[in-house]
Chain A
Amino acid sequence: MNVLIIAAKEVHQAIRNRWVLAATLLLAGLALSLTFLGSAPTGNVGVRALDVVIVSLSSLTIFLVPLIALLISHDAIVGEMERGTMLLLLSYPVARWQVLLGKFLGHLAVLGFATCLGYGAAVGALAATGSDIDSDSLLAFAAMVGSSVLLGAAFVAIGYLVSALVRDRGTAAGICIGLWLLLVLIYDMALLGVLALDKGRSISASVLNALLLSNPTDAYRLINLTGFANVSTFAGMAGLAQSTSLTIPVLLTALLCWTLLPLGLAALAFSRREL
């Protein structure tokens, strides 16, 4: 009950602060422009338009959704402490884990709403312009939206963990930007570099799998680019899809762990905080 009250207030605040509006418009705008510009190189012959959109949108999601998630979450605990609102909230009959979980559900709802509506606009636009959309593509698209929300959840949880550990908001923002750069940009480049240098001598397939699972954005990428046969052909990942032993359940579990573990640690750190 307390969790839901706090979640409802977070959503209310996010609507009031126009976070919901901004995130939805941003995602919808990018989804729509990718839908229409994205079909230019492939043309309209023999290619299912929605599959192309899935490939380009999921690549975009990897950059954008973690950034939005970290933006709304890095401030959740340390920011309320600095503004002094946490002091009052914790004098009420609520446990600290309830505060954290309530915020999480609220932020997840905001992110989920923005993603579903924003990306849904792309499907709507394709349908409206008369493209054929078969059920396979639709399923793959639904999976893409769902896993995007899950990716967002993981980064919201990571943001909370940072927020629960640091002393001030500036530090939280700095660390979150660093984490974003590391997980979204640097990790893959470094991995690629290492693989190229190693030429398969010491990095076995299982090590590579472990390395891919230890970054939530890679788990997300694999779900969407290799999970569905017709999508993976366009993604140029068909080869990898056949060689990897990482199945969708394994990848989803990895993303779920990336959500629950930081969330649990954040709750632990928060419960020990003195304010």
Chain B
Amino acid sequence: MTGTVRVSDVTKAYGQIKVVCDASFTLGQGELVALIGHNGAGKTTLMKLMLGLIRPTSGAIEVLGDNPAAGEFAGRRQLGYLPENVSFDPALTGRETQAFYARLKREPVAKALELLDAVGLGAASRRRVNTYSKGMRQRLGLAQALLGQPRVLLLDEPTTGLDPELRQAFYDIIARLAAGGATVLLSSHALTELEERAGRVIIMNRGIKVADGSIDELRRLARLPTRIRLRVAGLAPSELPGWAPKDATCRRLNGHIVEIDAAPERKIELLHRATAAGNAVEDVDVVPPTLDELYAHFLRQSEQAP
């Protein structure tokens, strides 16, 4: 795997406040990476550092072979960026805006305009940008970020303001790009959306990288229990089934569902017990810890650490 974006020991401080603190990671080709964290966790700052919009206080960054802090930008022809709260010159139309950005990337304008249809801007692209709604501006923002088969895509909160249908189309597009070898780094608050899609998750808290890995790796690291939900017939409302182990947390949910928190290595054992002959289990659901829960866990952990 070749790295397209390398961040090594990067710190960015404004006065006394460290917005990013000793962050290091390498993003490889074809990776779809989710960057998550509270507001002010340093997500946007990291992207700006990768673009050379700001310079790191210490540490080094390399993006597509360029050092952005030194003002190198040859690789940016193959880089797409969608800022949070994207804005455009209000006097120009969507088509004119897209054509302008296509020229800067030396991309054929006709091909660039097709992207406007791909993001569903269609007829509105002939109107001035100052008549656009937030969602339409976001679509135009996506269209310009996708110009010219980017090898690196930096997307800051890309799905805010998009309706569910377009959101789906958007994830399809970036999944296709990632499959074609592009590196996609996207920050988002919509954790449930990212769960199935991101191959890798980087969690930031107060400028510090607190977790980095695939969701499965994070689950292993976090050791959060998997929840097993069983529908059991013939139990009184607050009664727990007799076979339930004493050392696992069990609780009753609405009426006839029993929920057991299973440590990762006991999952199978518990399932065996539950489905053993004689137990009146009618249905089973296994819910692994969600990205939301993992995120909360790692944040808690980093807050407790001194």
A residues near B, CB below 8 A? Answer: 2, 5, 9, 12-13, 16-17, 83-85, 87-88, 90-96, 271, 274-275
- Chain B residues near A85 (CB, 8 Å)? 87-89
- Once the chains bind, are A88 and B73 in contact (CB under 8 Å)? no
Contact A83/B51 with A5-B100, A95-B71 known, Cβ cut-off 8 Å: no
Q: Name 24 interchain pairs, CB-CB below 8 A, sorted by A.
A: A12-B96, A13-B91, A16-B91, A84-B85, A85-B89, A87-B48, A87-B53, A88-B83, A88-B86, A88-B87, A88-B88, A91-B51, A91-B79, A92-B101, A93-B74, A93-B76, A93-B77, A93-B105, A95-B71, A95-B73, A96-B71, A274-B53, A275-B48, A275-B53
Contact A90/B51 with A5-B103, A95-B71 known, Cβ cut-off 8 Å: yes
Cβ contacts B87-110/A at 8 Å (1 or 0 each): 111011000100011011100000
Task: Determine whether B54 belongs to the interface, using a CB cutoff of 8 Å to chain A.
Answer: yes
Smallest beta-carbon distance A43→chain B, Å: 47
Most chain B CB within a 10 A radius of its CB, from A16, A85, A92, A95: A92
Contact A16/B92 with A5-B100, A5-B103 known, Cβ cut-off 8 Å: yes
Smallest beta-carbon distance A210→chain B, Å: 37
**A92 partner, pick from B74, B76, B86, beta carbons under 8 A:** B76
**A271–B92 Cα gap in the complex (Å)?**
26
**Nearest chain B residue, comparing its CB with the CB of A271:** B71
Smallest beta-carbon distance A23→chain B, Å: 16
Cβ contacts B255-298/A at 8 Å (1 or 0 each): 00000000000000000000000000000000000000000000
**A274 partner, pick from B55, B81, B104, B144, beta carbons under 8 A:** B55
Smallest beta-carbon distance A38→chain B, Å: 37
- Once the chains bind, are B87 and A91 in contact (CB under 8 Å)? no
- Once the chains bind, are B104 and A5 in contact (CB under 8 Å)? yes
**A13 partner, pick from B76, B92, B104, beta carbons under 8 A:** B92
- Once the chains bind, are A88 and B96 in contact (CB under 8 Å)? no
**A134–B135 Cα gap in the complex (Å)?**
62
- Once the chains bind, are A93 and B103 in contact (CB under 8 Å)? no
In terms of DSSP, what is the predominant structure of the interface of chain A? helix
- Once the chains bind, are B74 and A13 in contact (CB under 8 Å)? no
Chain B, range 26-78, C-beta contacts under 8 Å to A: 48, 51-55, 71, 73-74, 76-77
**B89 partner, pick from A5, A13, A93, beta carbons under 8 A:** A13
- Once the chains bind, are B92 and A93 in contact (CB under 8 Å)? no
**Nearest chain A residue, comparing its CB with the CB of B90:** A83
- Chain A residues near B96 (CB, 8 Å)? 12
- Chain A residues near B71 (CB, 8 Å)? 95-96, 271
* Size category of the binding interface on chain B: 20 to 34
**A274–B100 Cα gap in the complex (Å)?**
24
- Once the chains bind, are A94 and B104 in contact (CB under 8 Å)? yes
**A91 partner, pick from B53, B54, B74, B103, beta carbons under 8 A:** B53
- Once the chains bind, are B92 and A12 in contact (CB under 8 Å)? yes
- Chain B residues near A87 (CB, 8 Å)? 48, 53, 83
Smallest beta-carbon distance B257→chain A, Å: 49
- Once the chains bind, are B53 and A17 in contact (CB under 8 Å)? no
**A96–B144 Cα gap in the complex (Å)?**
20
- Once the chains bind, are B100 and A9 in contact (CB under 8 Å)? yes
- Chain A residues near B54 (CB, 8 Å)? 274-275
- Chain A residues near B88 (CB, 8 Å)? 85, 88
Smallest beta-carbon distance A101→chain B, Å: 14
Contact A94/B91 with A274-B53, A275-B53 known, Cβ cut-off 8 Å: no
Smallest beta-carbon distance B186→chain A, Å: 15
**A130–B281 Cα gap in the complex (Å)?**
108
**A17–B90 Cα gap in the complex (Å)?**
10
**A84 partner, pick from B76, B79, B86, beta carbons under 8 A:** B86
**A94–B77 Cα gap in the complex (Å)?**
9
- Once the chains bind, are A84 and B83 in contact (CB under 8 Å)? yes
Contact A88/B91 with A271-B71, A274-B54, A275-B53 known, Cβ cut-off 8 Å: no
Smallest beta-carbon distance B70→chain A, Å: 11
- Chain A residues near B91 (CB, 8 Å)? 13, 16-17
